[in-house]
Amino acid sequence: MRYYQRGPTVIRFGFGGGTTGPAVKYFMIACAAAFVLQVLFPRLVAIFGLIPYAFWHSGFVWQLLTFHFLHGGLMHLLLNLFVFWMFGVEIERLLGTKRFITYIAICGVGAGAMSLIATPNLNIPIIGASGVVYGVLLAFGLFFPERYIFLMFLFPIKAKHLVLIFGGIELLYTISGGGATGIAHAAHLGGMVFGAVYLYWARIRFKLRNAYYRAKLRKLQRRHRVDDDDRPRWYH
């Protein structure tokens, strides 16, 4: 994927969104390091991948936090990291590193939670950062809805439309049980759903906080006007 932004007189093309922030950089490094370790020690997949049956029946709760860093192959890893970097750089700069870390953590846990609910008896590992990637894609579509993205480097589509299409596909696959694709569609959907909930809650909280401070400011202004009325006056 590739995106461009159409301005009044120019069209800007580019990958990513500028300088890579620390959260994006270290998440990518962590995924790459985990992939090397899982190649050297394949049993790590069964320990740190998310196995819903083991989570519910054996208490493997840590898997909800670790499965994002493992991947099913080199291409799976590279594709996820490329898309994460492409959209994540700009979202991290917009949200700030601390809030971005919180956001991708919620998307990752949400991806796992949705998989646990949709496939509670699955006894094979779910691995990959795709839930996080889908969450970041959702954020990009919400913050930059009119931004054009070149899908497969050929077809321009607005970010908001891309999010709707991908979200719809994942919803249909999740409802239908995923078919025989071997893809954790519920995880993709979970990353988007939990990401949306977080962003909308953050927006509501911001509005409530602003309303509180505006009310407090008005109260102080009224008090200040009363104090002004009590000042000594000069007459002429």
Residue with tokens 């970041």: 136
Residue pair 42/71 in contact (Cβ under 8 Å)? The answer is no
Tell me whether residue 181 is in a domain.
yes
Tell me whether residue 229 is in a domain.
no
Task: Give pLDDT, residue 150.
Answer: 85
Task: Give pLDDT, residue 95.
Answer: 95
Tell me whether residue 45 is in a domain.
yes
Tell me whether residue 219 is in a domain.
no
pLDDT band at 214 (very low <50, low <70, confident <90, very high): confident
For 15-39, write each residue's pLDDT tens digit. Answer: 555 689 999 999 999 999 999 999 9
Domain count within the chain: 1
User: Which range (108-112, 115-119, 174-178) has the least confidence?
Assistant: 174-178
Instruction: Residue 120: give its domain's CATH number.
Output: 1.20.1540.10
Q: What is the mean pLDDT of residues 62-88?
A: 96
Tell me whether residue 102 is in a domain.
yes
Give the chain's mean pLDDT.
86
Tell me whether residue 112 is in a domain.
yes
102-124 burial code (b ≥16 CB/10 A, e <16): ebbbbbbbbbbbbbbebbeebee
Q: What is the mean pLDDT of residues 188-204?
A: 93
Task: Give pLDDT, residue 113.
Answer: 97
pLDDT at 137 exceeding the cut of 80: yes
DSSP 68-121: GG--SSHHHHHHHHHHHHHHHHHHHHHH-HHHHHHHHHHHHHHHHHHHHHH-TT
pLDDT at 73 exceeding the cut of 70: yes
Tell me whether residue 131 is in a domain.
yes
Residue with tokens 């953050």: 202
Tell me whether residue 127 is in a domain.
yes
Tell me the residue range of the domain where 164 lies.
2-210
As a whole-number percent, the residues of the chain with pLDDT over 70 amount to 83
Euclidean distance between the first and the last CA atom of the chain, given in angstroms as a whole number:
76
pLDDT at 44 exceeding the cut of 50: yes
Closest CA to 110 of 185, 193, 183, 27: 193
The pTM of this model reads 0.82
Task: Give pLDDT, residue 6.
Answer: 45
